[in-house]
């Protein structure tokens, strides 16, 4: 059995340290992934700085992993040892065995998919948490309720607004909403408008333009706007997003990555929960994502910026992500 190691946090607010960790065999519906690359998400440094989602130490962070299947659970049919894969490391809902910042990572098989040869591990690892967080907002029937994504979607008259189209979550939202046939309105800094359009956004507004709410509402008026996805989710962004919906005549909800503030008709989505929604997990991970990556109809974005190599560089990666990124995903290569 190989020796596992992890980037541990020993107490809240302290730096990560690399030490041995238990090697965990997969349960019946899980795979064990030999880690090749991890992406850093804001939640990693937020958990380091504040006691959120965890109060037990030592702990391991990390939600996004790309690597090679090392062991396959007894009921898993879709993967075999040696497959190149990406997966959502669901430590936020299931604990340290499922955290990405270690050499061997357990993933539920229903949030894992094969990575085509033309996609590198560094590119692929940017996707899993963003895919799950976007999907729960866009496709759950009592959220935005878009039809399931397809590699050859029929264009519908439905439309959505994605606030924060250049974030990791927003970039994935744009692509998934287009794969559901919807028209997409997005916001981003002016320098990222072309980026959002290349991902499929039909119109992009500069959220720093003091008149953007009015401009977006005018563009969306009389369109079948099913709602909005606010991938930033501060009180101000949620309220501005709702204002666009109301002014354009839409009765849709604002889907949020944080709990909605008072006065906003919104719903909070938590990406780590997708593994519990068997139907949605199948529609996204088994039926769509691998095929879309292979065909190139969904591309791994934002592009990775590699902070370093090895578990010992993950703290540096977390510090970089905390300093702020624009249309980039901080990645650390592991093997
Ligand atoms: N609930 C969940 O399950 C879940 C899952 C994943 C992420 N999240 C949360 O979702 C948020 C986004 O995460 P992420 O990884 O997608 O972000 P990210 O990629 O780090 O976001 C970077 C982008 O944020 C934009 N931005 C920053 N401040 C902004 C503001 N005040 N208004 C508008 N845009 C702003 C910038 O856009 P420009 O450069 O274009 O200006 C930049 O491109 C974070 O708060 C994260 O913790 C929640």
User: What tokens appear for 238 in the block?
Assistant: 């949620």
- Domain count of the chain? 2
pLDDT band of 109, cuts 50, 70, 90: very high
Cα 230 to middle of ligand 1, angstroms: 9
How many of the other CB atoms lie within 10 Å of CB of 226? Answer: 23
Is 143 found in the same domain as 265? yes
For 254-271, what is the mean pLDDT? 97
Asked whether the beta carbons of 184 and 159 are under 8 A apart, the reply is yes
Q: Is the CB of 68 under 6 A from ligand 1?
A: no
Using DSSP's 3-state secondary structure scheme, residue 196 falls into helix
Is 113 found in the same domain as 140? no
CA–CA separation, 98 vs 78, rounded Å? Answer: 19
Atom of ligand 1 nearest to the CA of 207: 33
Is 328 found in the same domain as 253? no
Residues 175-225 pLDDT 10s: 999 999 999 999 999 999 999 999 999 999 999 999 999 999 999 998 999
Is 151 found in the same domain as 30? no
Residue 73 has pLDDT above 90, yes or no: yes
Query: Which of 251, 271, 291 is the C-terminal boundary of a domain?
Result: 271
Name the percent of the chain lying above pLDDT 90.
98
CA–CA separation, 294 vs 166, rounded Å? Answer: 23
Is 171 found in the same domain as 209? yes
Residues 113-171 pLDDT 10s: 999 999 999 999 999 999 999 999 999 999 999 999 999 999 999 999 999 999 999 99
User: Would 47 be classed as within a structural domain?
Assistant: yes
User: Would 227 be classed as within a structural domain?
Assistant: yes
Atom of ligand 1 nearest to the CA of 46: 47
Using DSSP's 3-state secondary structure scheme, residue 227 falls into strand
**CA nearest ligand 1 atom 18, residue:** 167
CATH number at residue 72: 3.90.180.10
Is 155 found in the same domain as 45? no
pLDDT at 1: 87
Query: Which of 271, 290, 311 is the C-terminal boundary of a domain?
Result: 271
Atom of ligand 1 nearest to the CA of 234: 31
Is 203 found in the same domain as 85? no
Is 163 found in the same domain as 80? no
Tell me whether strands 203-206 and 183-188 are parallel, antiparallel or unpaired.
parallel
pLDDT band of 317, cuts 50, 70, 90: very high
CA–CA separation, 317 vs 142, rounded Å? Answer: 36
Is 167 found in the same domain as 42? no
Is 106 found in the same domain as 58? yes
Determine the residue of 167, 228, 300 to mutate for testing ligand 1's pocket, defined as the one with the most ligand atoms within 8 A of the Cβ atom: 167
CATH number at residue 186: 3.40.50.720
User: Would 286 be classed as within a structural domain?
Assistant: no
Q: State the residue range of the domain holding 36.
A: 4-127+300-333
Residue 88 has pLDDT above 90, yes or no: yes
Is 254 found in the same domain as 138? yes
């Amino acid at each position: 059995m190989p020796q596992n190691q992890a980037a541990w946090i020993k107490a809240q607010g302290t730096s990560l340290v690399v030490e041995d960790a238990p090697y965990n065999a997969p349960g019946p519906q899980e795979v064990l992934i030999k880690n090749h690359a991890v992406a850093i998400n804001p939640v990693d440094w937020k958990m380091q700085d504040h006691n959120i989602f965890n109060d037990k130490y030592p702990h391991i962070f990390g939600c996004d992993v790309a690597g090679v299947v090392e062991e396959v659970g007894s009921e898993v049919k879709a993967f075999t040892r040696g497959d190149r894969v990406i997966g959502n490391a669901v430590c936020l809902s299931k604990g340290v065995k499922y955290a990405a910042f270690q050499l061997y990572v357990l993933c539920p098989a229903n949030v894992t998919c094969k990575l085509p040869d033309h996609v590198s591990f560094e590119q692929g690892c940017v996707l899993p948490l963003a895919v799950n967080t976007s999907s729960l907002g866009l496709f759950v029937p009592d959220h935005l309720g878009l039809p399931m994504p397809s590699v050859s979607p029929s264009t519908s008259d439905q439309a959505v607004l994605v606030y924060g189209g250049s974030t990791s979550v927003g970039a994935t939202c744009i692509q998934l909403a287009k794969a559901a046939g919807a028209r997409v309105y997005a916001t981003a800094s002016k320098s990222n408008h072309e980026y959002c359009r290349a991902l499929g956004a039909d119109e992009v507004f500069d959220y720093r333009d003091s008149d953007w709410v009015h401009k977006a509402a005018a563009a969306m008026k009389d369109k079948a706007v099913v709602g909005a996805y606010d991938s930033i989710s501060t009180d101000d962004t949620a309220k501005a997003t709702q204002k666009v919906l109301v002014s354009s005549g839409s009765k849709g909800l604002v889907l949020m990555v944080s709990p909605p503030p008072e006065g906003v008709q919104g719903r909070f989505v938590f990406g780590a929960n997708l593994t519990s929604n068997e139907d949605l997990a199948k529609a996204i991970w088994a039926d769509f994502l691998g095929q879309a990556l292979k065909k190139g109809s969904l591309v791994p974005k934002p592009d990775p910026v590699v902070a370093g190599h090895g578990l010992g560089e993950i703290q540096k990666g977390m510090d970089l992500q905390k300093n702020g990124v624009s249309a980039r995903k901080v990645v650390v290569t592991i093997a």
